[in-house]
Amino acid sequence: MKVLISSEEIQQRVAELAARIVGDYAEEPITIVGVLTGSLMFLADLVRRLESPVRIGLIQASSYRGTATEPGQLEIGPELLPDLRGRHVLLLDDILDTGQTLSYLVEHVKRLEPASLKVAVLLRKMGRQITPLQPDYCGFEIPDRFVVGYGLDFNDQYRNLPFVGVLDG
Ligand code: 5GP
Ligand code: MG
């Protein structure tokens, strides 16, 4: 396993993103909606650095099944969402790859009539996007490699790694 982004680099960048988010939202309460399961570490670290009032919700969508490393059918699972109507929603995901998942979720959340909607991703894979979604906050741009760790899995393993690594060396 090759380390692509160290735990220290992640923590520092998450702190920078949190500071920007706090500045951008001023004192407005934010509802952070994490996309399960990959965003869990990012969500947990980010919200602990936010000094603004925060609500947390979760939503499930997965385009990768089992050992597949190419996107498959997108599945939207049961939601664990607080009421988003009139709220300032920040949708949080681990990685922006083709953009299919987040574009779909953005449309879904928009129908719930939030006061505003922004998107934050920890990672963005370069040269892969097929939908025009621009994340409002992005931690790191990475090359087109399959990565694991810090929430990201391969066959449901490696999510607990504190760093982001490339599995195939
Ligand atoms: P998209 O819909 O943007 O193509 O895919 C987004 C989802 O695919 C992410 O939330 C993540 O679950 C998964 N994904 C995309 N690239 C990778 C990767 O390099 N590693 C892992 N573990 N998951 C990925
Ligand atoms: Mg995901």
Q: Where are the domains of the chain?
A: 2-63+74-142
Ligand nearest to the CA of 95: 1
State the pLDDT confidence band at 61, using cuts at 50, 70 and 90.
confident
Determine if the peptide bond prior to 98 is cis (ω within 30°). Answer: no
Tens digit of each residue's pLDDT (9 = 90 or more) over 30-44: 999 999 999 999 999
**CB of 146 shorter than 6 A to ligand 1:** yes
Residue listed under structure tokens 């892969």: 128
User: Tens of pLDDT along 74-119?
Assistant: 666 666 888 899 999 999 999 999 998 899 899 989 999 999 999 9
Residues with CB under 5 A from ligand 2 (ion): 38
CB atoms near residue 121 (< 10 Å): 25
- State the distance from the centre of ligand 2 to the C-alpha of 60, rounded, in angstroms: 8
Chain segment 110-146, per-residue pLDDT in tens: 999 999 999 999 999 998 888 889 999 999 999 999 9
Q: Active site residue: 83, 97, 136, 144, which one?
A: 97
Residue 167 above 70 pLDDT?
A: yes
* Alpha-helical regions (H) of the chain: 7-25, 40-47, 100-110
Q: Is 144 known to be catalytic?
A: no
pTM value is 0.91
Q: What fold does the segment set 2-63+74-142 form as a domain?
A: Rossmann fold (3.40.50)
Q: How far is CA 135 from CA 50, 102, 121, 149, 160, in A?
A: 19, 9, 7, 21, 25
* Dihedral (CA of 19, 95, 1, 74) sign: positive
